[in-house]
Each structure stands twice: as C-alpha cells, then as structure tokens.
Structure 1
Amino acid sequence: MKTLFSLLFCLIVSLKLLAQDQVFVETESFENKGGWVIDQQSFVVQGSSYIMAHGMGRPVKDATTTVKFPKKGKYRVWVRTKDWAPFPKGPGKFQVKLDNQSLPMIFGESGSDEWKWYDGGEVNVTNEQVALALHDMTGFNGRCDAILFTNTPKFTPPNKQEELTAFRNKLLNLSGKTTDAGNFDLVVVGGGIAGTCAAISAARMGLKVALIQDRPVLGGNNSSEIRVHLMGDTDKNHYPKLGRIVREMDNGDPGNGNADAKEYGDARKTNIVKAERNITLFLNTHVYKAEKSGDKVVAVVGRDIATNQETRFSGTFFTDCTGDGTLGHLVGAEYRFGRESKAETGESLAAEKSDDFTLGTSNLWASLERDTVSAFPETPWALPFTDEYHIDSPKADWEWETGFGNFNTITDAEKIRDHNLRAIFGNWSYLKNNKKEKYAKRELAWVAYIGGKRESRRIIGDHILNQMDIQEGKQHSDGTVTATWTIDLHFPDAKNSKYFEGQEFFAGTKHIKVAPYTIPYRCLYSKNISNLFMAGRNISTTHVAFGSTRVMRTCGMMGEVVGIAAYVAKKYNTSPRGVYQAHLPELMGIIKDEPTTAKP
C-alpha cells in the first residue's frame, strides 16, 4: 500500500512539474487577431476553435499576443497546424515570430492534411514576457490551432483527440471550471433564424430565456457570415399571427452571396434581441456538453470560442435550434441522418435504399468591379478548370454546394469548406488569368469561410412529417406553421459530376410545387427527451419532407411556435408532449391570436 501511495505521489508531482515547464497558447485567445479569423466549425472534431488567415489571396495582418513564461531559458516550440490543400503542397503558409524574430520553419505546407504538432525548433527565452505573432505569407487560409513551449526534454505533445483534450484542459486549467449563468425557463441553443425567433417568442410570453449562439452574430445562414436570403412565405398562414417575429428580423431579400454585409441585417437582429428584457444573449459560445437526469435535460455547458471560458446553463425546457441537432445528439435524442428508403416511408420521392446522402454545404462568394486591373495567382493546389469546363460568373449562388454523401456534414465540416474554397479559388484563378477581357478589373470582395449547411441530423418527434402529409394536404389537429416552399432536394449537377466525379461542388435541383400545408406541433419536440423542443432544419421529418421545411422563414415560424408552447408547458408544469395531450386547444388558441389567460 505504501509503495502504491508513493507511486501516485510521484505521478502527481511529475504532472505538476510538467505543467510548470510548459506554456500552452490557444491561438483563438490571441489578444489581437489582426486579419486572422476564428473558426469553430470543427469543434466537435478538434475539441477547440482555431484561427485562419482568410485573405482571399492577399496576406492578412499578423495575429499577436503576449506570452508569459514561468522562467527564462531554452524552450522547444511546437505548432499545431495542417496543410489544408496538400496537392502536393498547399498555399496556407505562415511563420511564427517571437519578439519580431521569425522562426526558420514555414508552417502549413507540409503536404499532410492531418492536424498535428510540428516541431518549430528551439528558442532561447530571455524575457519573462515575449511578443508572439503569427505571420501569414499568402492570404490563402493558413491555420493554426495552438502553440506549445516546453523545456521538458524529449517531450512530444499528444495528437490523439482524447489525450489532446485532456492535455489542453490541464495546461489551460479548464477542467471543472465553469461560470454559472443561472437557471432559465427556456434555454435556446442555436442563434439562427429559428433559435432567435424561439427566444423572442418565449420572452414575449414572459419566460426567462437564454439564447446561446456559437458565432459573434445572429441569423445563422441569413447572417453576413454566410449570406443566404430568407425563403418561404409568411403571408399565406392559416394563422396570421405566426410570422410576425420573422418579419421583424427580415431585412428584405438581398439575394444570395452579395458583397455588402449590411444587406443581411446583423445589427437589426441583435438589436431586436437585446431589446427583450427577458432574454440573456450569449454570443461566441459553443455548447459541447450536456447534463441529464432520466429523460430530461438538466443543463448545458458552453465554451467561449475565443477565451475558452466555460459557462453552465440550467433550465426547465431546452430547444435545439442548432441545425445539426447538436444538443439532441448530446442528450441521446432519437434522430435520423440521411435518406430513408421507399420501403420504409412509402414516399415516391424517397431513395430506393436508405443511405447517408445529405444535401450539401455552401460557401458563397462575390466579386466587384474596380477602377484598376488586378492580378490573381495561379492555384496549382486548387481544383483545375479549363476552357472546356469552368463557371463563368462574377458571384456565387446556392448552386455552389459540397456534400452529397461524399462527406459527413458534421464531422467533415472543415473538409467540405476547404473543398469549396479549392473550387472557388481555382475557378476564380482561371477567370482572372484566362478571361481578362471580362474579369481583369474584377476583384474577390468576399468569400464565406463559415459553411452554410442544409442538412444533417433530424431529431425524431411524435410525428415524422412525410411527402404524403405535404402533397395530400393532410389536416392535423396540431397543424401550426404554414409551409409553402417546394420539395427542393439538391443533387450533384450532371456536368459538374462529369468533370469532378466524387468531388462535386455544384448542385442542381428539381422544384416540386406544393400547396400551403401545416407542420404538426408534434414535429417540434423530441420523442424520447421529455423537455426538449426543436425548431429549424433539424425537426422531425423524412429526408423528402425536409426538402420543403428547411427554408428560414418557415424555420423562424417554428421557433415562434416553440416559444408559445414553452409558455404553455411552464404554465401547467407539463412537458412538450403534455401540451399536445392536455393543452392543445390553449396552444392553438394563442397561435390563432385568441384571448388567453395571464402569463406566468
């Protein structure tokens, strides 16, 4: 027993000494990001955010910070990065500087597309505070996750995800340290149109609401970061009350992928939310952990994508408006991913066999005419375009889309975005260098680095909306949101497939018109997690029906219904299902804008 105690004591002491001899720097926590941007889209894979030099072919300003060392002396530098376009070597080159002196190694051009630690050599630290900088060399999306300084001999930092997460948490002193945000009537995870409308709706019914968004802006696909216009009608409702909140946030129809960020109304959305006294807004907060008791969600934990500080949110009800069904997945909600078969659903538009095919992700872009001629480099690492096949357009629209079953829209989010970038930059390089009469004075003005997703998980509710519900116009007693969009299921464009088989980035579709129909309330709460609502593209539908329900004005109205339902659930101390079983007339009465009793 004494020997075991001694071994444990030695292990604890050695770990403490190891931590003292190492300085771990998360790049997203740099004091000054310069021209680098934070990317959290692959948090579920990485366990962390990272920063990226998104300069559209023009080097960005250095990201800088100050690093404090426990003692002076020699340290080995390790840099965690990857070559995002190793064909054979990518363009994302950058250097690390200490006190304005560049380390000799150039990072980001290794020819390996795996995230891993690279040995940056040994440095002599002569001051306890050192200026650290990331110096971009190309403007083509070089990226860096973390930098480690160690004076522990022969030490190599871990690459395996579980080991890396434990190592990261220990050196950053994150384990078990959370700030308590308090208890809420409704915790809304996801600040796209659906989540924002859910939060506003619940707040106006008198509920105390937390709205958690993992980016610095609200709006999701309709934000300035992604720039997809709002679709679906709000004026064909059976219940005209629905859609009022959507219309408040609607900044008109600027189209897809326009160069002017203001056209997408970020400030408008944020101001509306901040004007609601019952909403507490948490931006830049990625929910990655949840707590359960039985079949109920008790709390969620979010990590700030820049500072890595963690916050705990407890609540009575929760709603998953993440699009990816992130919260539902964390708490074990039943869900579907991909296409069902005809035999399973009876839908004529279903696949012959079930599979993991999903609609893809878009990264839109735009160019602008300038007064002078500009150049754009050749891009041997990008997708190759020729006189025979290229896309002759000064901007993108919805068709620029990658996924289609070749990639998993959640775990391969970074790969999908990077494939889109290779298509965008490769095509633009071709246009600039081969169609100068048209594009000589045009310049890339904006390229999305945050992917606009269409489809991933669909959380199962007490009803699964299907093609027959939509096309036969079935009348459900709990029919709420009126949907109007076509059944719009994208697939790889045939010509694009011919030239880029298995690497498609351009989509086609066939719009199947529908008459206005209603989405049952039973599609808006989880079948097996008793206090979980959902609104947005992750509601309970088949893949075919999802093709119609997924557009943002429709999703926003779902959020409005969830906010009202949460009020009714709280009033009667019941569950989302309990609202349907025992209080549906009151829910429908509020939606119909009929007089109701006082708010709780």
Structure 2
Amino acid sequence: MLIAILSLLALCAGAQNHVFVETESFTEKGGWVIDQQSFVVMGSSYIMAHGMGRPVKDAATTVKFPKTGKYKMWVRTKDWAPFPKGPGKFEISIDGQKVNQVFGSSGSDVWKWYDGGEVNIRGTQAKLSMKDLTGFNGRCDAILFTDDLKFTPPNELEALGAFRRKLLNLTEKPVDAGRFDMVVVGGGVAGTCAAISAARQGLKVALIQDRPVLGGNNSSEIRVHLMGDTDKNYYPKLGRIVREMDNGDPGNGNADAKEYGDARKIAVVKAEPNISLFLNTFVNKVEKESDIITAVVGRDIATNQETRFSGSFFSDCTGDGTLGYLAGAEFRMGRESKAETGESLAAEKADDFTLGTSNLWASLDRDTVSSFPETPWAMQFSDEYHIDEAKADWQWETGFGNFNTITEAEKIRDHNLRAIYGNWSYLKKNKPAKYAKKELAWVAYIGGKRESRRIIGDHILNQMDIQEGKLYPDGSVTATWTIDLHFPDPKNSKYFEGQEFFAGTKHIKVAPYTIPYRCLYSKNIQNLFMAGRNISTTHVAFGSTRVMRTCGMMGEVVGFAAALANKYKTSPRGVYTDHLPELTAILKGETLAPQPE
C-alpha cells in the first residue's frame, strides 16, 4: 500500500499542468473581433485586430494557474500576408510585463504554435493582454502555458482538435436546449424567414446563427442590399415576412451600419413567442438515425460551450450547406457540363468554378487631410492599373475556382483585404486631389459568399426551367432575378492573372418563373429542408435563385411545409406526394396554414 501511495504521489508530481486560453473567450475584446469563418477547417474561432490601418484597443482576460513558477508559453498564430514579413504584428503582456517577442510576422502564412519563451507566473492568476501594433488584421487562435518546459503542443489538426477538446473539457455532454418541432440552422434572410414562418404556424422553433446579428449578407457585417421582387408572385401570400425584414435598399457597402436593419431583424424574431434564438452558435455536429436527423450540436463561438438541439424537422439555411453536408445529404459544388444538363450556359466540362466572395468597404469625407500606411505586403497598383473608387460595390470579389469558398474562406478574405488596402494606399498617395480628405471608414472582415454547396433535392432546377417559365404543379416561390453568373473582369485578369479580385457579369433576363417545392428538401435525408443559395439547382440556375428576397420567400415556403409535415406526421417529401393541394392553397392564401395538433 505504501509503495502504491508513493508511486501515485510521484506520478502526480510529474504530471503536466497545461493552461489553455482560447482568445475568443477573452473577457475584454477591446478592439479585436471574433472571426469564426474558418471554423470548419480550424475547429475554432479566433480574434483579429481589424483596425483598417489603425491599431485597435488591447484585448485582455484573467487567467487562473494551478501553481506559481515557470511556464513555457506557446502562441498559435500566423503571418497572414508575408512579404517577407507581413503586417499583423502584436505583443502579449502578463500582468503588464511584455513578453520578449513580437508575434504575427514570422514570414509563414500557416497556422501553428510559436514559442513564446519561458515566463514566470507569480500568483495563481494573472492578467493576460494582447496589444495590436499595426491595425492590419493580426490574429491569434489560442495561448498555451505549460510547466513541462520540453512540451510542444500539436499542430496537426486532428491531434490539435483532440488536445483542444480535452483542455476545454469539451468531451462533457453539451447543454440540452430541449426539443423543437423545427430547427433552423443559419440566420440569414432565408433562415430568419423560415423560422418566423414556421413559428407563426404554431411550431416550436430554434433559430441558430453563427454570428451576433441576423441577416447574413444583408447584415451590417457584410452590407449587401436585397434583390429580387416580392410583388410579382403567383402566390401573393409569399413575401410578407421578407418585407418585414426589408430595411429598404441602401445599396451595397455603405459606411452607416444602421442602414442594414440589424435591430429590425432581431426585433421581429424576438417578438415571436415560438422562436428560441441562439446567436453566436456554430453547428458542427449532427446526430442521425439512419437517414433521419435527430439532433444537432452547436458551439458558442466565444465561450466554446456546446449546446444540443433535438427536433422533428431541420432546415439548412447556412448558405454553405453545412448541415446537409454533416448529415450526409447529396450535394454538388461547382459547374456541371453541357453534356450533363443540356444547358447552353453550362461549362463545356464540369469543374470546381464557383462564384466568389466579397468584402465590401467604404470611405467617408473628412474635414482634414489624412494619410494611410505604406502596404508593401498588399497587392500593388500603378498608374496603369488601379481602381478609382471611394467605396466598393459587388465587383470586389475573389474566388472563381482559384479558391475553395468553404475550406479557403480565410485566404479569400485575406486576398480581398490585400487588394482593398493596396488599392487604397495607392489612391491616398498618388491621387491627393481626390482622396486626401477621404478616410477608410469601414471594411467588411466577414466575407459575403455567393456560392458553395448546393444540396440535391427531388428536382434540380435548370436553365430551361427558368427561361421557358415552366410552371410545375409544385411551383412555389416566384423568382425574377436575371441569370447572373460572375466571372473575372478581363482587365483585372490581365494585371492579376490567377489572383483576380474584381468581377464582371452578363445579366440574362428572365420572365418571372416559379421554383418547385421539390428543390427545397433533401433527396436522401428524410427530414431536411433547405432555403437560400444552397437549394437544389444547377450552377446556371443558381445564378438567378441566389438573391436574398427570393431566398427569403423560400424560407416562408419551408415554414408552411414544415407545419403540414408536423400536422400529418410525414416528411418534406410526404408533403409533396400527399398534401400538395393543401400547401398550394396555403400559398394562394385560400386557407389558413395548419395549426399542429
């Protein structure tokens, strides 16, 4: 017994003490912002100093330690724009004492752990702070303190994920949010309208959004105006909820955040007693029984607390088709070939080309002259080629098959930032008569995506459906937007071949047409609806269906259909096969939507 006790004491004495700090959990963010856009590839959010060239206020938090003494500090970061060293420099202090190293400008654009050296912790808690040195998007994922001075934390993502979960105690069961009739994942215009529509039919709804605001591309974080008509509907009942969300048409990328109606959207949702709203929650796990989703698990992007949502029906309104992908739904990404679809606008060969992502920006006139830092690490412009604009519009777009819009979302955003900052630096320096008193007032750090996965339904909408105006028996949403497929602007390609960030398009007009209800539910996951840009279309047809008023009406249809499915204890497909006349009557306004039993 004595030998066993002594052995146990020796083991405990030699045990590692790891103190793992997720930066997004800092109690004081200062001017740093949380970025969750790469959660699917990093397994985590991180914080970023988005100061548009002006250093932001410090982020700080209090860290508890199991004991005093020496610790090795590791910092997980990257140099996002090395040339040979980039602009994202920051410092870390412990109890006001700067660590003898600058982070974020290593010359490597790979996320990894950097050795911060040994630090002496004098108490059982210490104040940890991060100081931005440039204002140009320095970033940090996590900070690790270990009393094993020879320990090196894992960089490989699978091992890092297990390490992260263990130290954050994420292996414990998630908090149970309860059971819902309808779980809507994604709080853009489509998801918000789906949640409201379902709730007004009496369904108990969870609306889960991975950002602090609703509206997606129409929120103040991205600032894209709403397009598509709601007043040309075959079914006038559709579009009413979209109009409640609609804050008018301020245009794209304006400097005034209030023009995009964040408060309006939140207020409408919170007025619905049947909706439970969960902001800042990224859904990253799905539970299934055969081909039926039983629950999803989401992680808070700041605290990392996990929450479980069980339900009868689910709607993927994520844009990226994240829920469907996790559930094993059939999907497509990229362009189909002409041989496959018969579409005249399709590609000759199938490929991975997708429409890109925009980060809009705006400047404002000021009373005094201002300067902007030199940006040798950014894209370089000249008298021969620059973009002479005081604010962005939709054309500022990166993707086009050069990047994967899901797995390389961070690279796309950073590429956009290098273009924005480089062009603005050129304008400020070389065109003072026009730009000396203009100041860069707003730059989106959340990317506004156009295209990624499209989940396959029982019908795949195509070019012929649109241009021939086919009215299928299950025609639902009336769409009016042109076939609007972007491509790299030829002049931009000439100067930045393979690195394009500016788009062109050709609008192909269409008469109003209807989107079949069969495009709004999954072909192989029994209880999965979808609304938004990830519905069942070809790449060509997607060019027309993707605008947000149209997507919002899809959400309204999904809400009505979910009420019918709940009433008759059937599936989304069962609504089509057995209850389509009743759904059509609801859309026409001839009958009230069913109240669940």
Tell whether the 8 Å contact from 2:79 to 2:108 is kept in structure 1 after alignment: yes
Q: CA deviation at 1:17?
A: 7.4
Secondary structure, counterpart of 1:510 in structure 2: strand
Q: 2:486: which partner in 1?
A: 490
Q: CA deviation at 1:87?
A: 1.8
Deviates more, 1:163-172 or 1:275-284: 163-172
Q: 1:453: which partner in 2?
A: 449
Secondary structure, counterpart of 1:381 in structure 2: coil
What CA distance in whole angstroms lies between the structure 2 residues aligned with 1:277 and 1:515? 39
Identify which of 191, 194, 202 aligns with 1:195: 191
Secondary structure, counterpart of 2:276 in structure 1: strand
Q: CA deviation at 1:594?
A: 1.0
Does the C-alpha gap of structure 1 residues 434 and 14 become closer, same or farther in structure 2, counting only changes over 3 Å?
A: farther
The reply to whether residue 229 of structure 1 matches residue 225 of structure 2 is: yes
What CA distance in whole angstroms lies between the structure 2 residues aligned with 1:491 and 1:427? 21
The reply to whether residue 319 of structure 1 matches residue 315 of structure 2 is: yes
Does the C-alpha gap of structure 1 residues 16 and 369 become closer, same or farther in structure 2, counting only changes over 3 Å?
A: farther
Secondary structure, counterpart of 2:28 in structure 1: coil
- Cα shift readout 1:292-339 (whole Å, capped 9, x = no counterpart): 001100000000000000000000000000000000000100000000
The reply to whether residue 346 of structure 1 matches residue 351 of structure 2 is: no
Does the C-alpha gap of structure 1 residues 12 and 464 become closer, same or farther in structure 2, counting only changes over 3 Å?
A: farther
Identify which of 504, 507, 524 aligns with 2:503: 507
Does the C-alpha gap of structure 1 residues 231 and 13 become closer, same or farther in structure 2, counting only changes over 3 Å?
A: farther
Q: How does 1:142-221 map to 2 (within 5 A)?
A: 142-221=138-217
Q: 2:100: which partner in 1?
A: 104
- Cα shift readout 1:187-245 (whole Å, capped 9, x = no counterpart): 00000000000000000000000000000000000000000000000000001100000
Does the C-alpha gap of structure 1 residues 117 and 487 become closer, same or farther in structure 2, counting only changes over 3 Å?
A: same
- Cα shift readout 1:156-191 (whole Å, capped 9, x = no counterpart): 000001100110111111113310000000000000
The reply to whether residue 365 of structure 1 matches residue 354 of structure 2 is: no
Does the C-alpha gap of structure 1 residues 355 and 19 become closer, same or farther in structure 2, counting only changes over 3 Å?
A: farther
Q: 1:279: which partner in 2?
A: 275
Q: Which amino acid aligns with 2:499?
A: Q
Identify which of 387, 390, 404 aligns with 1:391: 387
Q: 2:557: which partner in 1?
A: 561
Q: How does 1:36-75 map to 2 (within 5 A)?
A: 36-75=32-71
Identify which of 286, 290, 293 aligns with 2:289: 293
TM (norm. structure 2) is 0.98
Structure 1 gap ranges (5+): 1-8
What CA distance in whole angstroms lies between the structure 2 residues aligned with 1:366 and 1:155? 46
- Cα shift readout 1:432-480 (whole Å, capped 9, x = no counterpart): 0110111001001000000000000000000000000000111100000
Q: CA deviation at 1:575?
A: 0.2
Secondary structure, counterpart of 1:509 in structure 2: strand
Q: CA deviation at 1:258?
A: 0.1
Q: 1:4: which partner in 2?
A: none
Identify which of 77, 82, 104 aligns with 2:73: 77
What CA distance in whole angstroms lies between the structure 2 residues aligned with 1:525 and 1:534? 6
Identify which of 24, 31, 40 aligns with 1:28: 24
What CA distance in whole angstroms lies between the structure 1 residues aligned with 2:591 and 2:397? 46
Structure 2 gap ranges (5+): none
What CA distance in whole angstroms lies between the structure 2 residues aligned with 1:159 and 1:11? 32
Does the C-alpha gap of structure 1 residues 428 and 494 become closer, same or farther in structure 2, counting only changes over 3 Å?
A: same
Does the C-alpha gap of structure 1 residues 97 and 276 become closer, same or farther in structure 2, counting only changes over 3 Å?
A: same
Secondary structure, counterpart of 1:553 in structure 2: helix
TM (norm. structure 1) is 0.97
Q: How does 1:114-153 map to 2 (within 5 A)?
A: 114-153=110-149
Does the C-alpha gap of structure 1 residues 163 and 19 become closer, same or farther in structure 2, counting only changes over 3 Å?
A: farther
Does the C-alpha gap of structure 1 residues 108 and 530 become closer, same or farther in structure 2, counting only changes over 3 Å?
A: same
Q: Which amino acid aligns with 1:31?
A: T
Q: Which amino acid aligns with 2:419?
A: A
Tell whether the 8 Å contact from 2:563 to 2:594 is kept in structure 1 after alignment: no
Tell whether the 8 Å contact from 1:19 to 1:171 is kept in structure 2 after alignment: no
What CA distance in whole angstroms lies between the structure 2 residues aligned with 1:549 and 1:10? 70
Does the C-alpha gap of structure 1 residues 299 and 44 become closer, same or farther in structure 2, counting only changes over 3 Å?
A: same
Q: 1:269: which partner in 2?
A: 265
Q: CA deviation at 1:20?
A: 5.3
Q: Which amino acid aligns with 1:404?
A: F
Secondary structure, counterpart of 1:134 in structure 2: strand
Secondary structure, counterpart of 1:407 in structure 2: coil
Q: Which amino acid aligns with 1:330?
A: L
Task: Report runs of 4+ in structure 1 exceeding 4 Å deviation.
Answer: 9-20
What CA distance in whole angstroms lies between the structure 1 residues aligned with 2:88 and 2:435? 25
Tell whether the 8 Å contact from 2:567 to 2:594 is kept in structure 1 after alignment: no
What CA distance in whole angstroms lies between the structure 1 residues aligned with 2:307 and 2:256? 34
